[in-house]
Structure 1
Amino acid sequence: MRVASKFLDVFITRGIATTLLAAGVLGVGIMAYAGLPVSSVPQVEVPGISVSAGMPGASAQTMASSVTVPLERALSRIPGLVAVTSSSQPGSTLIDLEFDLDRDVDSVAMDVQAALSSAAADLPSQMPQPPTFEKSAPSDARLLTVALYSDTVPGTELGDLAEGYVATELSRVAGVGQIYFHGMRRPAVRVDVDLDRIARLGVTLEQVRRSIANATSNIPKGALDGAASNLMIETTDQLDDPAAYAALVVSFRDGQEVSLGDVAHIAWAAEDRHVAGWVNGHPAVTVELQKQPGHNVVATVDRVLAELPQISAGLPAGVRIVALGDRTGTVKSSIRSLQLDLLLSVAMVVLVIWTFLGDWRATFIPALTIPISVFATFAVMSGLGYTLNNVSLMAITVVIGFVVDDAVVVVENALRYIEAGRDGVSAAAEGTREIAFTIFSMTLSLVAVFIPLLLMGGLVGRLFREFAVTASVAVLVSGLVSLTLTPMLCAYLLAPRGTRSSAATVKAPQRAIAWVQSGYEKSLSIALRHPRTMLGVTIACVLLSVFIYLWIPKGFFPQQDNGMINGIVEGPLDMPHDALVASTRKLAERMREDPAVRNVYFYVEGNPTPNAGRLLMDLLPLQERSESVYEVMARLKKVAKGMEQDVSLHLQARQDVQLGMRVSKTQFQYTLRHPDIDVLRGWAPTFIHAIESLPQLRDVNSDMEPDAPQIRLVLDRQRMATLGVDVASVDNTLYDAFGQRQVARFEVRSNIYRVVMEADPEYRLDEHSLDSVYIDSEGGQPVPLRSFASLEDATAPLVINRDGQFPAVTVSFNLADSASIGDAVSAIEMKAKELRRPQGLTGMFQGTAQAFNASMSNQPLLICSALLVVYIVLGIFYESLVHPLTIISTLPSASVGGLGILALTGTELSLIAMIGLIVLIGIVKKNGIMMVDFALAAEREDGLTPQDAIRRAAVLRFRPILMTTLAALLGALPLAFGHGAGAELRRPLGICVLGGLMLSQLLTVYTTPVIYTYLSKFSRRAGTLSTGNGG
């Protein structure tokens, strides 16, 4: 301790060096703050990959069995794979892979590429291109949507501009990663074949396909390598316009050429006729931009927006470009609101210090701790790659109330010595030496509280690691400042008694504080005379804490208002594409009429199912509308229900933290799995019907659609053998006629286009169109399809979903107005236990509900771990097994206050509120440390009994305890009562800290002395080594 004391004295005697050192830290912090990027929440890169494969015209069953299953089998062998889900629908399949957070997404991508290569041999040869994959990420990675729209330029030209020009320009912007297109009508040469015409001419669809496929090629032709020259050989092997394809000869009849133009209509049109996109009533293509890992959302969006005017200048007349889904305005507003809360907290804390100390110099000294601690924390955040976000700034705001605690204790102690007649330097030195161990133990034990947060796993742990590190750094810096800069300033700035202000504004608060302290001394004597009552209060607080914890509604993450709504528009299973687009347009137009809606954009492209489209809305900024996003959604749902349409609308508010990769109609998900899809689809309706009656849920939906109607061709194989027709020819011909088959590709000015073949629209209307289909035969004569095939009505799944390589049905739901996710999870689990499941069927929550379940199981462990770490640290400091229990006894009253005020205000015990409880453990135990330290010193140095020692300590430290508690309490006020963007995220923490501090301040100043007395008697009787050193 002598060495430490001499070391601390150096900072007092070398005032200029100490001042310059503090100024240097402050300057570095200010520069770091200016360069810190801004985001909504901590940036956590989740290694995710989305694999997509297409085979136009294939049914969902064909896609699942021939494409999805082989791909899943190969991909499931990749190390670190946490979850694999897939969705197979007509013509396409999408497989989402989620990996362990410790895996790097780039190395994962290499493994995925290797797995796809190994699966290639098992995939159908009819696939027009190999499966592709893209790095996927949570909602935080979604940057912005840029839309091209026009009423005069064709949609195919918009698609060409979006892919060939706009996306190319935007990909050059720093921070822009993956780019996705929606409503993308890629241009293609479409060949619509007249089935009756080719039948009359004796031409089959397969002949037409082979003629087109063989007419375009692009392979090496070699070179002429002579003595005098070297000449590369090129040919005119590329056809690149409809007229050239129309001239192709597909057959000869009676010595006359039959050209493609004779039997088909050929023109530029959309590659996929089942795709459409609209923005604010205009045909459009939307370009969705994703963030590159390691880049900041706000800065990247700012760069993209700055680039848009230049891109717009290069667009043809009549084409407009607009930015949609820009959430950076909300992020900036949220951060500004939190920065204002931070300033208010600082002002309130300084006001409390001035009220208690009554002197501007005594106030200035601990107040100076705030900017140094805060800006030093910003410097560390910059070095660690952190951002200014709701979580990190929330950590700084909540610790503002107690970063001054250590400095206040030093100032208070120095003032005692000055008022006892000591000069400033000796008073500061002696006061700091006396209190150094207390500050050291308070600081390190407070940091120890956050250790369990640092060790939390999963995405939630990564999100709150930034909170723990930020708060810990601020606390450590404040402790360091209070032992170095604060004593030096005390030595030269604190005024001796008699020179301090005598103004009424100073005297009145001092008289009030003296009156409170006098009342406390009297009431403390009463409490010490009734120790059993105080012990009963402590035990009651423990029991009440457990009861409220078990009873209070529990949530995951507070629901935010980001001003964006995602929607799914769903029609009947057999709804034609054009009818779905028309109905969605009408719905979108009604949504645009709402005064809170700024933009409405939708696209129909078979996602999440062929009978559904995606509808997205941007609302006005929060300050420009009077209703929350949830009130707006409720109104829009009523409007949709009042429309006489055969489509339904499902809406969700977009969140900053949204887990899970599967798209669902409502917010929370529960997945059923079984190896046998028929068993699964047979039992799932029973489960869905059962949970629909639960009062905690509403809007219960599932991704299991009723079987869609289809036409089944029953082939007479014996007849086929007689006619010389094989099954492959039948399938190929049907694919040619009705599958939008991509039969060739060509290149024009570095753009790749495809030739798409299909029957003319009039032959795609109903089952009678099959009468016009003819099949190749071995004899070369076309054979009518209906001569060996009969038709029957059938049904089949429109979409086949899988989870973990098993058929799956995902049930989704929203919460009832009065329910929490905890209520819903418990109700579903109880209902699932009541039902008799088929053997082998499993059920589990997914996405946010799954993360909530995991966090719930970890919450008691988190609290116990925090208590254990604090106990161990304090036990090491005091060399005692007993005195740490005295300090920990301050916590039950805080937990009752925190949980109780959450219950009274109707606030869920969310993860944010749980962080508030962790913070309370750190704040409240400081009161116990201040009392126990002084009591131990009084026992050791003055020979007082435990009761007299703790009484003296409680009275002596009541003033700084009251001051630091009020500072922390008022510092949390802006969080608890804040409004504006992001306030709903911060409010639970502020409310919890506020309630906990109020009740703990009322009770712990009485219960702690009693517990100290009891434990001292117990330790002496037990002969336990518990006197402690206390420094």
Structure 2
Amino acid sequence: MNISEVCIRRPVLTTLMTATLIVFGAFAYRLLPVAALPAVDFPTIQITATLPGASPETMAASVASPIERQLSTISGISSMTSSSSLGSTQITIQFDLGRNIDGASLDVQTALAVAQRRLPVEMTTPPFFRKVNPGDFPVLYVSMRSDTLLLSAVNDYAETVLAPQLSQLPGVAQVLVYGAQKFAVRVQVDPTAAAARNISLDDIRSVVAKANSSAPVGILQGKEQSVTLLATGAMTHAADYRDVVVAYRNGAPIRLNEVARVIDSVENDRIATWFNDSRAIVLAIQRQPDANTVAVVDMVRAKLPVMRAQIPPAIQMQPLFDRSLSIRAAVFDVQETLAIAVSLVIMVIFLFLRKVSATIIPALAVPVSLIGTCAAMYAFGFSINNMTLLALTLSVGFVVDDAIVMLENIVRHIEGGMRPFEAALKGSREIGFTIISITFSLIAVFIPVLLMGGMVGRVFREFAVAVSVAIIVSGFVSLTLTPMLCARVLKSHDSHEKQNFVLRAFERMFESWLRTYEWTLDRVLAHKPIMLGVTLATIAGTIWLYIVVPKGFFPTEDTGYMIGITEGKTDIAFPAMVEHQRKVADLVRADNAVAYVNSTVGSGGPNTVGNSGRMLVALKPRNERDSLGEIIARLRRTANVVPGIQIFFQPIQNINLGGRLNKSQYQYTLQSNDTDSLYRIAPELRDKISKLDGLLDVTTDLYIKNPQVTVEVDREKAAVYGVSIDQVRQELYNAFGSRQVATIYTPANDYPVILESLPEFRAGPNDLNRIYLKTTNGTMVPLSAVTHFTRTVGPLLVNHQGQQPAVTISFNLAPGLSLGQAVDAIQKLERDERLPATIATGFQGTAQVFQDSLRGQGILILAAIFAAYVVLGVLYESFIHPITIISGLPSAGIGAILTLMLFKMDLSVIAMIGIVMLVGIVKKNAIMMIDFALDRRRVGLSAEAAIREAALLRFRPIMMTTFAAIFGTLPIALGTGAGAELRQPLGVAVVGGLVLSQLLTLYITPVIYLYLDRFDRMIKRRLEPQLEEVGEAPSKPAVAAE
């Protein structure tokens, strides 16, 4: 007694099993988190080190290199990059996907502790790290602005109220403050006035540093009572410092306001952020690499009303750039697509079966399979995301296949005169092995996907598991629920049953299809060599098309957000950069597709150098604007018209693979310890790459023409005056380094006191002549007396890749050019240029992962075919029949690739998974034919008669299952909603492959079956005499002689 017979005879058992599956699945669905994609983030850690005033070269040599050497001893690092700018170094480490982020952070902490001993002693703040990918976009921004309060006051609430509370939320890696305007007191010295009074800048530094001491003074201890001593005179604002006595001259005090302008200001006055055209403080919330975006945003939004009550009403607080909105929209769109697919599949079933009761039976397989899959998804720790919902949507088309095959076989017996109960028992026994074959052969093709490594494997693992589980559940339903319902719901055949006009018309159309197929099949069987040639041609055509088709990675999604990175001249001053940035922002905001703009300029926050800015652009809803690609192309023309500044646009994506954000989407890196050759060749190569067809926004991160002034100390003259080299450095730092010399402590925060020259005394190199040094005899001499100045150029930014100096050339793609074509063109250019052996090259980020995935695509397809062959071989105990079954696969491949090319889509990773699915789906037609033909051979039919009868008898279920698969996938192929760009290639590939394979496999399978059957019998005839000699001749099969 098989499982189907048990379920037919025990309907209560079957019903309760199905109900249990539905209840657990529905409950699990409510608990599944929502995400854009499966968790595919590389474990990433960012290290930040600061040494105020140090040049980029100094930071790279004395800070970045020692830390990198120590970090290189950590296992599991996939890439390490660093960027050193004026006074700051950022090191980004990406670990292998299998590396635990917490364990990696402990290793990083240990490495930093060891490296600390090799860092400059002037580094008063040790390097620190965070578990965050700086190349990843924040999941939410919060804008804070006020019409009445100073920005420094708004900044206080941002840094002391909002940021600490948000940082403590689970999944939040860090909260960055863009446009930070932290309060500070600035002491701006007039160096000539100070020198006239025989006062050096270092004298002023020493006095200011001691003017606001918070050192403890002790307690008074008596016999009965103790009293705490407090020293008064705490200074909190500029006014408190102005009357500080700097020195006495001729018995008269010289106060600070006589030699300096003391003002209430901000810590960094060379950074600014705007929300549209209003100055603002913006909090950028970044998630941890393994955190769920939607969950983090939900927690932040739930916390905002609580924090709103903690800040003054005069501060306007507004969430911006909510990354979860596009994720929710994409998930909702897939859910709609799923509902449409279910409806279309049920319509197909009804048209073929023409009865409501018969339609309901296989249709039940859809919700049971999908809901049951949700239970497994929850057990595996998956989420509701584009991949899992895409898997469920695609499953709609073929989870009904098994039920249709079971139902159609039972109905055939009922129409032959059997009672439904007997027909269910007999039909389920006959078709059970076919269903098992279809189910396991479908699952087999996903085994290679489950075993894929790297980022692509992570993305599609949940997809493959969801599809496999849905197939298993549908197979279980087809063997249990479907035959039980057939036995109790279907009625005995009534040849006089009336049907409406539409159903009668469809049945007449189907009968004409069947007659046409019968006529054409007879002609094909009469001219088998022609169809064999067609089969071989499809194999050759598939291979050729695979070679020539444009290949890509992941399609560009329209998330509704994009980023623009601005770049001014290397030596641009901050006020000029502000003016240019605002003009560009106005041009961007003027575009009808733009909802709002958040703009930041200056070194700090999201920018690494002072000549760069960043512009986050939110677009209007999709139905009110053009596509994202059209908008970027338009803004590339309209926003790049301001002299002295250039802006590079790129869309914000849900998949980010780089360790840092570049000006364009794709990166090509040159590395070498020979910096002279590196810095000479990189610009030349950039210029040649920019001339390649289809490459846009070609740029580099090489800034080596930054104007510099080298102050060289004449040691002999310095010795004459008693001036030390350190004294020269200190005086320069005091005048031009915005040096923090003291700290103001308050109950809520601490604020710096900054020493510098007046702005008019630090406007250009000539102002160096207005700096004075104090000699050993107390007199003042000009800086030029002991030094001379040399004007040079040097780097504004020094980048390392894998501990070596590196230059990255980034680029975007023009419409119509695939990433594969761009990579091939750049590699050809590299070969033609014959770069020196000392320079290593390679693609980084998305382009690098694309190359890795490209190497495995062909192997993936071959592995899927081999897995299917093995499973079929085991099931049929034959080496020959699996070849017959998979012979139609090339027709699906050629159909998929031709359809992609017709719609001008790349063969992306998504489309490739669609082709893998076709390997599983297309086989079912052949399985139904071969399984039935083998049964007919056992009762004595010839091979040709058996396969002809099988093809005609199984024509209806073949057409039903194929149309169900096509209509179940069609909504994906035609989708236009949120995230449709990611899903469409898969739908297009599956629909195109199914349409062509449906036309060809109906003829290829019978012909290949006959050829291979003849080959099988020929081999057996040759082996029989040898086997008879050893007494092992097999019994002859009961088939008619041909």
Contact kept in structure 2, 1:406 and 1:439, CA below 8 Å: yes
* Residue from 991, 997, 1008 that aligns with 2:988: 991
Between 974-983 and 321-330, report the one with greater CA deviation: 321-330
Q: CA deviation at 1:236?
A: 5.5
* Residue from 992, 1004, 1007 that aligns with 2:1004: 1007
Contact kept in structure 1, 2:675 and 2:805, CA below 8 Å: yes
Distance 2:47 2:302 in 1: 32
Would the alpha carbon gap of residues 36 and 832 (structure 1) be closer, same or farther in structure 2, given more than 3 Å must change? same
Distance 1:417 1:339 in 2: 38
Between 806-815 and 378-387, report the one with greater CA deviation: 378-387
Q: CA deviation at 1:496?
A: 1.4
* Residue from 137, 141, 144 that aligns with 1:145: 141
Contact kept in structure 2, 1:9 and 1:429, CA below 8 Å: yes
Kindly report which structure 2 residues correspond to 1:944-983, keeping only aligned pairs within 5 A, or say none.
944-983=941-980
Mapped pair 1:422 → 2:421 = no
Distance 1:879 1:588 in 2: 70
Q: CA deviation at 1:836?
A: 2.2
Residue in 1 aligned with 2:887? Answer: 889
* Secondary structure in 2 matching 1:355: helix
Distance 1:502 1:127 in 2: 88
Would the alpha carbon gap of residues 612 and 829 (structure 1) be closer, same or farther in structure 2, given more than 3 Å must change? same
* Residue from 873, 876, 879 that aligns with 2:874: 876
Mapped pair 1:691 → 2:697 = no
Residue in 2 aligned with 1:911? Answer: 909
Q: CA deviation at 1:452?
A: 1.4
Would the alpha carbon gap of residues 549 and 1029 (structure 1) be closer, same or farther in structure 2, given more than 3 Å must change? farther
What amino acid is the match of 2:113? Answer: S
Between 1008-1017 and 359-368, report the one with greater CA deviation: 1008-1017
What amino acid is the match of 1:206? Answer: D
Residue in 2 aligned with 1:440? Answer: 436
Would the alpha carbon gap of residues 565 and 810 (structure 1) be closer, same or farther in structure 2, given more than 3 Å must change? same
Residue in 2 aligned with 1:772? Answer: 770
Between 971-980 and 174-183, report the one with greater CA deviation: 174-183
Contact kept in structure 2, 1:451 and 1:866, CA below 8 Å: yes
* Residue from 338, 349, 352 that aligns with 1:353: 349
Q: What RMSD, in angstroms, separates the aligned Cα atoms of the two structures?
A: 2.4
Contact kept in structure 1, 2:43 and 2:97, CA below 8 Å: yes
Q: CA deviation at 1:247?
A: 4.7
Q: CA deviation at 1:330?
A: 2.3
Contact kept in structure 1, 2:713 and 2:786, CA below 8 Å: yes
Distance 1:164 1:171 in 2: 11
Residue in 1 aligned with 2:638? Answer: 639
Q: CA deviation at 1:856?
A: 0.9
Between 766-775 and 92-101, report the one with greater CA deviation: 766-775
Would the alpha carbon gap of residues 218 and 679 (structure 1) be closer, same or farther in structure 2, given more than 3 Å must change? farther
Residue in 2 aligned with 1:556? Answer: 553
Would the alpha carbon gap of residues 959 and 224 (structure 1) be closer, same or farther in structure 2, given more than 3 Å must change? farther
Residue in 2 aligned with 1:338? Answer: 334
Distance 1:239 1:124 in 2: 32
Between 886-895 and 631-640, report the one with greater CA deviation: 631-640
What amino acid is the match of 2:792? Answer: A
Distance 2:983 2:1008 in 1: 34
* Residue from 930, 952, 971 that aligns with 2:928: 930
Residue in 1 aligned with 2:1029? Answer: none
Between 774-783 and 139-148, report the one with greater CA deviation: 774-783
**Cα shift readout 1:819-869 (whole Å, capped 9, x = no counterpart):** 111110000000000002122101101111111111111111111111111
Distance 2:640 2:551 in 1: 32
Contact kept in structure 1, 2:599 and 2:615, CA below 8 Å: yes
Residue in 1 aligned with 2:1030? Answer: none
Would the alpha carbon gap of residues 331 and 720 (structure 1) be closer, same or farther in structure 2, given more than 3 Å must change? same
* Residue from 505, 508, 511 that aligns with 1:511: 508
Residue in 2 aligned with 1:661? Answer: 659
What amino acid is the match of 1:396? Answer: L
* Secondary structure in 2 matching 1:142: coil
Between 175-184 and 233-242, report the one with greater CA deviation: 233-242
Q: CA deviation at 1:234?
A: 6.0
Q: CA deviation at 1:806?
A: 0.7
> TM-score of the superposition, structure 1-length normalised?
0.95
Between 792-801 and 185-194, report the one with greater CA deviation: 185-194
Mapped pair 1:189 → 2:188 = no
What amino acid is the match of 1:548? Answer: L
* Secondary structure in 2 matching 1:641: coil
Kindly report which structure 2 residues correspond to 1:638-787, keeping only aligned pairs within 5 A, or say none.
638-643=637-642, 645-787=643-785
Residue in 2 aligned with 1:213? Answer: 209
**Cα shift readout 1:270-302 (whole Å, capped 9, x = no counterpart):** 111211111111111110012346553234324
* Residue from 382, 395, 398 that aligns with 1:386: 382
Contact kept in structure 2, 1:128 and 1:742, CA below 8 Å: no
Residue in 2 aligned with 1:489? Answer: 485
* Secondary structure in 2 matching 1:188: strand
> TM-score of the superposition, structure 2-length normalised?
0.94
Q: CA deviation at 1:536?
A: 0.7
Between 849-858 and 427-436, report the one with greater CA deviation: 427-436
* Secondary structure in 2 matching 1:655: coil
Between 258-267 and 713-722, report the one with greater CA deviation: 258-267
What amino acid is the match of 2:933? Answer: A
Q: CA deviation at 1:166?
A: 2.3
Distance 2:877 2:690 in 1: 58
Would the alpha carbon gap of residues 219 and 290 (structure 1) be closer, same or farther in structure 2, given more than 3 Å must change? same
* Residue from 170, 174, 179 that aligns with 1:178: 174
Report percent identity of matched pairs.
44
* Residue from 780, 788, 791 that aligns with 1:790: 788
**Cα shift readout 1:28-84 (whole Å, capped 9, x = no counterpart):** 222222333322222334211111122222221121112111121122222211111
Would the alpha carbon gap of residues 584 and 512 (structure 1) be closer, same or farther in structure 2, given more than 3 Å must change? same
Distance 1:566 1:707 in 2: 26
Count of residue pairs the alignment pairs up? 1023
Q: CA deviation at 1:1029?
A: 12
Contact kept in structure 2, 1:541 and 1:896, CA below 8 Å: yes
Between 248-257 and 655-664, report the one with greater CA deviation: 248-257
* Secondary structure in 2 matching 1:893: helix
* Secondary structure in 2 matching 1:136: coil
* Secondary structure in 2 matching 1:973: helix
Kindly report which structure 2 residues correspond to 1:398-409, keeping only aligned pairs within 5 A, or say none.
398-409=394-405
Residue in 2 aligned with 1:614? Answer: 614
* Secondary structure in 1 matching 2:954: helix
- The runs of 5 or more residues in structure 2 that have no matched partner are 1025-1033
**Cα shift readout 1:305-347 (whole Å, capped 9, x = no counterpart):** 3444454444335421122112333222222221121111111
Residue in 1 aligned with 2:623? Answer: 623
**Cα shift readout 1:215-253 (whole Å, capped 9, x = no counterpart):** 455667777888866777765596443344445444343
* Secondary structure in 2 matching 1:658: coil
Between 650-659 and 311-320, report the one with greater CA deviation: 311-320
Contact kept in structure 2, 1:527 and 1:534, CA below 8 Å: yes
Would the alpha carbon gap of residues 245 and 705 (structure 1) be closer, same or farther in structure 2, given more than 3 Å must change? same
What amino acid is the match of 2:928? Answer: M
* Secondary structure in 2 matching 1:794: strand
**Cα shift readout 1:861-883 (whole Å, capped 9, x = no counterpart):** 11111111111111111122221
Distance 1:382 1:225 in 2: 67
Between 887-896 and 256-265, report the one with greater CA deviation: 256-265
**Cα shift readout 1:515-538 (whole Å, capped 9, x = no counterpart):** 212222222222122121111111
* Residue from 97, 110, 130 that aligns with 1:114: 110
Kindly report which structure 2 residues correspond to 1:50-61, keeping only aligned pairs within 5 A, or say none.
50-61=46-57
* Residue from 538, 543, 548 that aligns with 1:546: 543
Q: CA deviation at 1:781?
A: 4.2
- The runs of 5 or more residues in structure 1 that have no matched partner are none
Distance 1:1003 1:131 in 2: 65
Between 261-270 and 963-972, report the one with greater CA deviation: 261-270
Residue in 2 aligned with 1:567? Answer: 564
Contact kept in structure 2, 1:180 and 1:288, CA below 8 Å: yes
